[in-house]
Structure 1
Amino acid sequence: MRWWQIKKRDADLERELRSDLELEEEEQREGGVSGEEARYAALRAFGNPTLIRDQTHAVWSWSWIESLARDLRFSLRTLRRTPGFTIIAILVMALGIGANVALFTVVRGVLLKPLPFHDPDRLVMLYEAGALGDDTTDTNVVSGGMYAEWKKQNRSYSSLALAQGIRVGLSGSGGQLPEKLRSALFSWDMLRTLGVQPALGRDFTQADDSPTANGTVLLSWGLWKRRFGGDPGILNQTIELDAAPFTVIGVMPAWFDFPDPSTQLWTPVYHDKPEAMMTSLNNHMFRVVGRLKPGVTAAQGVADLSLISQRIHNAHLDDPFVFRGASSRPLLEHLVGEIRKPLYVLLEATCCLLLIACLNVANLLVARAAARRKELAIRTALGGGWLRLMSERMMECLMLSAAGGVLGLLLAFAALHWLSQARHDMSRVDSIHIDGVVAAFTVGVIMLCALFSGLIAAFSNSDRHILGALHEASRSVGGGTARATLRKVLLMLEVGLTVILLVGAGLLLKSYERLRSADMGCITQGVITMHLGLPDARYATPAQRANFYDSLLERVRALPGVDAAGFATLVPGQGYEVDSTFNIVEHPPLPQGRGLYALSRSADPKYFGAMGIPILRGRTFDGKRLAAADEVIISQSFASQYFPGEDPLGKHLHVHGQNAVIVGIVGDTRYAIGETPRPVQYFSLDAGVENVGTLVIRSSHDPEQFALPVQRIVSEMDRDLPVSDVLTMNQLLGKSTQDQSFNTTLLVAFGSLSLVLAAVGLFGVMSYIGAQRTTEIGIRIALGARREQVMRKMLLDGMQPAVFGLVVGLTASLAAGRLMRDLLYQIKPLDPAVFAAVAATLLAVAVFACIVPAWRASRLDPMKALRAE
């Protein structure tokens, strides 16, 4: 029934009741009853008009809606009367709900959402599996030859496609500067395997994926917009990649970034790579994506490929780099990689933060309910039902949670915007956004928070003994023993959860500091690095590349302020990438199928001095241009692992089909921060003359000042050659530890927020208790209690739940720390220094939060306190 119809009926009912009552009163007068007695007699005969009105009204109205509306209005009035409490409660809820919603959105977008490909559950990433030296791994990248055999012989996959991430130089045109871009090589059927079509233009064809075909390229949506202004006319136009012409055939959708979020170009792999590389069985460099046939499981697919690999391995037993098995992972699991566990740890941390927020608000509500105990007891005495009063408390909590949820959603928006800017390189970051599911999750969290906090507050005031409640309220003793105990338990739980978060944050922070301070085996201060890649089209011969490097290094070393400069294919902190197998000529032959391997680098003679890598024994390269790699320098770990108890100098390694004499031993370096140094063999840059590498410059001045002069030198030597990844060594190491930095920053932020919430909870509850016990404190002081005794008692009352919570939290952290073991570097989950620091911090904050209310209570004027009662 519509509201205006209900109002009309209410008015009609009111007139009818008044008319009936007047008739009854008239009859009483006619019966001889006079004046006021006639009216009272009419009321007795007629019954309670209010009750009749309510019962009749309930027949045609939605009484429960009206009841909720009354509760809503009452809650709003109540909250307006206490703005301080209301603002604090809303802010606390907003922090807890906002953090939870933001992390849920990230976890859902990265880990839970299906990939935006056709039937993504059937897509798997494939690897070669087997032993390499003393190591066994199931996730090796795949050789071109093994991929070809899998594709030809398998019966489990409807399609197999291959990819490799590379970097290419995009030549400048129309006044634009050249730039180095992340690119990917695709087999022609990769997009068909994934089930993706270009947003503009066409896909690769088999004819495009051939060494004799004209070069073709697909652009990313971002590159198309940024570099070409979103002009559809770019289709069928020619651009230069590494000085070679490529025809733009299409533009990919904005969300497509496979296989890496930074990929901006895609070109056909067989057009780019030589046939020898694509048929090699021991040159592992490709990622292979497979689409399982309907009805085939991942295990069946792996078994099929493993049989093929075993046959190939048996036919090449003399080559240790031909693996004998295969393995697979769902494509989603491969793409999210190692961020799965940190994200779930952070989500658990936000759940703890939300629970702390709810406990905080519940504790404030319990203390506030104790202050209103007399009012509630009077309302109960006047006929207010317990369920009715509980309904009002729940509505009040719902209002606080809803307001906190709205503000929390705004905070989540801001946090996700920051995340998209700070971690644009994170896998699937474009899938992270607030949608209907997240909104529904937010509503659910709001309801749970209201229910949790409201039930605790409501049951804390569920005493139905009205007279006892009135007497207890009048004595102002803090709301009773049971309620005081409840407040202490809530505070204890809040402090315990805070301790767990602080211990986790402390462990990650100490781990990150250890990681950043790890000895890289080289100088990291005053060093700048720059990446260069010489295109084969302009630097086809080793002599051309060697001349370029020699000329560049000569001009760079002549710059004022440059202390040293060198060049190497990879520098510490840039990853492993390249390794090679070898044999030691002076050692007995290895069993068939066994081989030794180490990381392989090329460097110029002055590279070691520029990077501060010590020459432990022997010498560096003599600087003479070598026609072949007949000299090699090894690292200390190489010497320890492969020449135990003997002098490696003068010994020979058989590598790359020729013998190289060991002329020097240098210190170990870490090419991946936080990992144990691996054996490395260095060859002269002139002998290998790689077309990609890193220039390093060391200076006692600010190294970043050399970025522009070096770029000008390179531009003068080759105007279409881009210089990329211009980073100091500290920036390079920071980039390689950004995942750990991100995780640490967030967990420290959550721990700090929880500490603030715990302090607010202690301060708020102690303030309420002090206000409730005003009369008691006044009587104590009037009877002779010293003020310092009052302050000590109040302080101890507040510190008791903090200390118990600290003990509970530290105990729980013993188990929680073990769950973080994989995220820690060179520290134990039970690190005593972290536990001690957390305990000291928590106790200091608890004392600070309790001391102000305790001091305020001890300053009470007993006469004013007694009169206030």
Structure 2
Amino acid sequence: MRPEHWVYTIPLRLRSLFRWAQADQELDDELRDHLARKTEEYVAKGMAREGARRRARLELGGLEKVREECREARRVNGIQDLVQDLRFALRILRKSPGFTSVAALTLALGIGANTAIFSVINAVLLRPLAVEDPSHLVYVDEQWRGISPGLSIGNFIEIRSENASFRKLCSSNSAGFNLAAGEMSERVFGEIVTADYFPTFGVQPLRGRTFTAEEDKPRRSQVVVLSERLWRARLGSNPAIVGQTLRLNGLPYSVVGIMPKSFDPLLGKTAVWVPAAFGPNQLTNYDVHYLSVIGRLRPGVSLTQAGSELDVLARRLQQEHPIDDKERGLRVISLTTALFGDQSSVLWMMLAAVGFVLLIACANIANLQLARSRERRKEIAMRIALGASPRRIVCQLLAENVVLGFAGGMAGVLLAFWGVSAIVAKGPGNVPRLDQSSVDARTLMFACAVALLSSFLFGLAPALRSASTRVSSVFKESTGTSTGSRDRIRSVLVVGEISLALVLMAGAGLLIRSALLVSRVNPGFDTTNLVVGRVGLPDASPAVARQAFERMIAAASILPGVQSAAVVSRAPLAAASSQSNGLIAEGRPLDPSSVVNAELQIISPTYLSTARVPLKAGRDFNARDTRDALLVTIINETLARTMWPGTNPIGKRFACCESGPQGRMDPVWHEVIGVVGDVRARGLDQQVQPTFYLPIGQMPPSAWDWIGRTLDFVVRTRGSAFRADELRTTVASIALGVPVYGLSDMQQKIAGTLEASHFDTFLLALFAAVALVLSSVGIYGVLSYIVAQRKHEIGIRMALGATQANILRDVLCYGLRLTSIGLALGLAGAFGGTRVLSSLLYGIRPTDPATLVVVAALLALVSLLACWIPACRALKVDPMVALRYE
């Protein structure tokens, strides 16, 4: 066909589509005119008019056939048929409001749950970072004994200067700042970054500029870049703020730029950025490993190629710096994986769970449709007898399912709006970008796709069965007699529902058991009436900071309602982990292979008694433990077992934290004076780490820089008499304008650490409960249908002497047989599927037999109840009524 002819036919086809009645009338007029002319032509040749008309009709081939061929030539029949099918589907569904309502609501549950979870996945995982070409951004970290501590400054400088894989490479380190805000400072969180941090991400500032290379050098003017959120919330969107001065940590910083609110590449809700300005000593430091390093790959460089180059650099660093870099490797992963790795598996697991719920819902609706298809056999047979093709029957029935699917989809979207709001409001706070979840255009497209797919899932089998109806056999059937045969397709669907429900229930049961086990874990200290807040004195010298904290402890201890007070570098169950150090026990070689990694806690002498951490051996710290006395330490039981297994550690020594007069090979030794119980500092469900405690009076001067001169204030109260405002006022009176931030009681912290796991457990348990209800409804529906279809047969059997026990056993056995097959398949699926929960479980294996047996028994019990109701209904069949039914 020539292009101009194709273009010419478009208006004709559109006219046939949108003005089809007029087009059909014109076609009829044209055919009648053609038939009349042919008739007259044959009459003119001498034929009788009746014979001429008959000859003309035969030559034309039949008016109806020609009409259909002409309509097909327009190539719009399919659209017209679809419109007719959709209209007919609406009429049919309106005539069955009960079926339509139940099916739509069932489908809405599945589609709504899928849409809500997908909206979260879309916001958290699928939405790209608001940076230039995020696919080329990578995260570089060190690997040492299975952990990733971050890079040392020396390693970062060498990698940046000698690599060929990265176009840009920058470093970042999170920090807290006291922002002067009137009489009281406000704590804000930011990052200390190198000058190429912003060019690496390729985002331009909203106002002003970013750092220059000169500003990223020591003893230069102090500058700061602000986030748009801080600028609007705390600075009143002042357009003249660029060039003005703010006081951070008591020091003046000149504002040079404002980054847009969408710029949060590390998802830390950063408020301020300041230059790192590494000094000469820092640039040659290969010992302290804490930097987050982000790079942008050069065009054409893959992750594998970058990783190979870093492997070569890592081996060279190991040879050049054996004390600091021995056993340390380098790894490169995509930035997206680094940011979302912990969340992605959980979210995809949740989407799989709601996918199971949707499959169960589709199976239920398919069962309902199969039952309706049997009731509509005569209607379908009549349409086939009148000339409808199997393809036409299938299309019409699928149109009904599409209408039903989109009705459920619209209701599901409404449920999704509510579900997303609930997830955002009640969801854990540690999920990045969760608050950005919404039912947007992509989510609506997903909902439409799920609705369409569901329509085919639950509608294809009933449509194909109806299209294969044998007309002769249907019309031979008497009105009331039915085969009553047990439908294999419906039975398979019920078995699938039960197996999927069991997999979901097994996962929920494992998480519930894990949560119960975690709730019984002893945290290692007394959490009742314990209040924790954080205080930072970053602008103070080490001596001044120590004296200020000691005065705060003394003043807080005499406040009304306070039993005792103390400070610790990082309180248990805090959001961030403690500083870690490598320890070498006395008598072992001064070599990295002898190092035992342990977490450092700097505490005041009153901390262990305030937190009520049990002292297992030795003594506690006291005021005499200063730098002028013997350097001492207290260790936890895990560190004692690790360093000196089977022996008494009291009096033993280890090297850590600082070097002696002769350099690094002349370490400073600390003597163990006490052993305390293990504290689950990282969370109740986390493994206890080797930990050692140093008294605040003996902490190395450099340690104040490690902790940013920031300590957690721990207060043991006497109950509700304690007033937090008095503690804030006391701290501010000693350190002018210094805030106490993150103030909460320990019970709230425990709840916060378990928030994510409890929310995951709640969601999976909710989905499992829905699956349980839907599967029980499925088996109930199948048995109810079978009883209704076999009512005549049951009446005959009872008339011939069958007892109620025989009837009851027959119905129950069939239902329990389906349940048993479903349970067997479900247990097999649970053994494999629940392994994805391994990282979420505590104290229990993914294949825990007790859990699987309990959920299988619960599902069997509910299924038995679902079987019992139709079985009891079968017992009420009156033989006389059933025999008279014909």
Same fold at TM > 0.5 = yes
Partner of 1:490: 493
Q: Name stretches of at least 5 consecutive residues in structure 2 with no aligned partner.
A: 1-11, 660-667
- Cα deviation, 1:57-111, whole Å, max 9, x if unaligned, reads 6666833333222221221111111112111211222222233333344444444
- Deviation of the 1:757 alpha carbon: 1.9
Which of 395, 400, 404 is the matching residue for 1:400?
404
Q: Quick check: 1:320–1:594 contact (8 Å CA) kept in 2?
A: no
Which of 440, 446, 457 is the matching residue for 2:451?
446
2:78 alignment partner AA: W
Q: Quick check: 1:367–1:768 contact (8 Å CA) kept in 2?
A: yes
- Deviation of the 1:795 alpha carbon: 4.2
Q: Quick check: 1:320–1:593 contact (8 Å CA) kept in 2?
A: no
1:503 alignment partner AA: A
1:202 alignment partner AA: R
Task: List aligned pairs for 1:322-471, cutoff 5 A.
Answer: 324-421=328-425, 422-423=427-428, 425-429=430-434, 434-471=439-476
CA gap of 1:5–1:355, structure 2 versus 1, over 3 A, is closer
CA distance in 1, matches of 2:525, 2:801: 72
Q: Give the 3-state SS of the residue equivalent to 2:598 in structure 1.
A: strand
- Deviation of the 1:621 alpha carbon: 0.9
CA distance in 2, matches of 1:281, 1:12: 89
Counterpart check, 1:848 vs 2:865? yes
CA gap of 1:385–1:245, structure 2 versus 1, over 3 A, is same
Q: TM-score, normalised by structure 1?
A: 0.88
Which of 244, 269, 294 is the matching residue for 2:251?
244
Which of 695, 706, 715 is the matching residue for 2:713?
695
Q: Quick check: 1:184–1:259 contact (8 Å CA) kept in 2?
A: no
2:535 alignment partner AA: L
CA distance in 2, matches of 1:643, 1:65: 82
- Cα deviation, 1:552-602, whole Å, max 9, x if unaligned, reads 2233332344343322111222353312234444x2544576434422111
Counterpart check, 1:168 vs 2:185? no
- Deviation of the 1:323 alpha carbon: 5.9
Q: Name stretches of at least 5 consecutive residues in structure 1 with no aligned partner.
A: 34-38
- Deviation of the 1:667 alpha carbon: 0.9
Partner of 1:613: 613
Q: Give the 3-state SS of the residue equivalent to 2:224 in structure 1.
A: strand
2:578 alignment partner AA: E
1:803 alignment partner AA: S
Q: Quick check: 1:520–1:670 contact (8 Å CA) kept in 2?
A: yes
CA distance in 2, matches of 1:740, 1:610: 29
Partner of 1:143: 152
Task: List aligned pairs for 1:722-741, cutoff 5 A.
Answer: 722-741=739-758
CA distance in 2, matches of 1:654, 1:755: 59
- Deviation of the 1:366 alpha carbon: 0.7
CA gap of 1:473–1:521, structure 2 versus 1, over 3 A, is farther
Counterpart check, 1:666 vs 2:671? no
CA distance in 2, matches of 1:216, 1:473: 92
Partner of 1:202: 209
Judge which range, 217-226 or 163-172, deviates more. Answer: 217-226
- Cα deviation, 1:720-747, whole Å, max 9, x if unaligned, reads 2122222222322332333323332322
Q: Quick check: 1:188–1:205 contact (8 Å CA) kept in 2?
A: yes
Counterpart check, 1:678 vs 2:689? yes
Counterpart check, 1:125 vs 2:128? no
CA distance in 2, matches of 1:863, 1:278: 99
CA distance in 1, matches of 2:86, 2:521: 59
Judge which range, 55-64 or 708-717, deviates more. Answer: 55-64
Q: TM-score, normalised by structure 2?
A: 0.86
Q: Give the 3-state SS of the residue equivalent to 1:232 in structure 2.
A: coil
Q: Quick check: 1:370–1:479 contact (8 Å CA) kept in 2?
A: no
Counterpart check, 1:761 vs 2:761? no
- Deviation of the 1:46 alpha carbon: 12
- Cα deviation, 1:801-833, whole Å, max 9, x if unaligned, reads 233212211121111123333332221111122
- Deviation of the 1:755 alpha carbon: 1.7
Q: Quick check: 1:598–1:680 contact (8 Å CA) kept in 2?
A: yes
CA distance in 2, matches of 1:295, 1:443: 38
CA distance in 1, matches of 2:675, 2:753: 27
- Deviation of the 1:613 alpha carbon: 0.9
Q: Quick check: 1:401–1:450 contact (8 Å CA) kept in 2?
A: yes
CA-based RMSD of the aligned residues comes to 3.5
Partner of 2:4: none
- Cα deviation, 1:585-633, whole Å, max 9, x if unaligned, reads 4x25445764344221111122112222111111101233623572211
Q: Quick check: 2:130–2:265 contact (8 Å CA) kept in 1?
A: no
Partner of 2:647: 646
The size of the alignment, in residue pairs, is: 842
Which of 832, 836, 846 is the matching residue for 2:849?
832
CA distance in 1, matches of 2:58, 2:316: 104
CA gap of 1:8–1:310, structure 2 versus 1, over 3 A, is closer
Partner of 2:299: 294
1:566 alignment partner AA: A
Task: List aligned pairs for 1:552-571, cutoff 5 A.
Answer: 552-571=552-571
Q: Give the 3-state SS of the residue equivalent to 1:267 in structure 2.
A: strand
Q: Quick check: 2:625–2:632 contact (8 Å CA) kept in 1?
A: no
CA distance in 2, matches of 1:360, 1:136: 48
Judge which range, 858-867 or 651-660, deviates more. Answer: 858-867
Q: Quick check: 2:318–2:325 contact (8 Å CA) kept in 1?
A: no
CA gap of 1:400–1:493, structure 2 versus 1, over 3 A, is same
CA gap of 1:329–1:32, structure 2 versus 1, over 3 A, is closer
- Percent identity between matched residues is 32
Q: Give the 3-state SS of the residue equivalent to 1:701 in structure 2.
A: coil
- Cα deviation, 1:654-705, whole Å, max 9, x if unaligned, reads 33233333221111112222333222111112333852111222346359x5
Q: Give the 3-state SS of the residue equivalent to 2:654 in structure 1.
A: strand
Which of 800, 811, 826 is the matching residue for 1:809?
826
Q: Give the 3-state SS of the residue equivalent to 1:570 in structure 2.
A: coil
Q: Quick check: 1:532–1:723 contact (8 Å CA) kept in 2?
A: yes
CA distance in 2, matches of 1:478, 1:512: 51
CA gap of 1:777–1:14, structure 2 versus 1, over 3 A, is farther
CA distance in 2, matches of 1:219, 1:811: 55
Judge which range, 635-644 or 112-121, deviates more. Answer: 112-121
CA distance in 2, matches of 1:850, 1:856: 10
1:388 alignment partner AA: R
Which of 515, 534, 540 is the matching residue for 1:531?
534
- Deviation of the 1:506 alpha carbon: 1.5
Q: Give the 3-state SS of the residue equivalent to 1:332 in structure 2.
A: helix
Counterpart check, 1:499 vs 2:502? yes
Partner of 2:115: 101
CA gap of 1:302–1:393, structure 2 versus 1, over 3 A, is closer
CA gap of 1:732–1:472, structure 2 versus 1, over 3 A, is farther
CA distance in 1, matches of 2:129, 2:158: 28
Which of 178, 200, 209 is the matching residue for 1:193?
200
Partner of 1:748: 765
CA distance in 1, matches of 2:590, 2:27: 106
- Deviation of the 1:200 alpha carbon: 2.1
Q: Give the 3-state SS of the residue equivalent to 2:216 in structure 1.
A: coil
CA distance in 1, matches of 2:23, 2:643: 99
- Deviation of the 1:863 alpha carbon: 5.8
Which of 520, 524, 529 is the matching residue for 2:523?
520
Q: Give the 3-state SS of the residue equivalent to 1:296 in structure 2.
A: coil
CA distance in 1, matches of 2:171, 2:733: 38
Q: Quick check: 1:472–1:479 contact (8 Å CA) kept in 2?
A: no
- Deviation of the 1:748 alpha carbon: 1.9
CA distance in 2, matches of 1:410, 1:626: 65
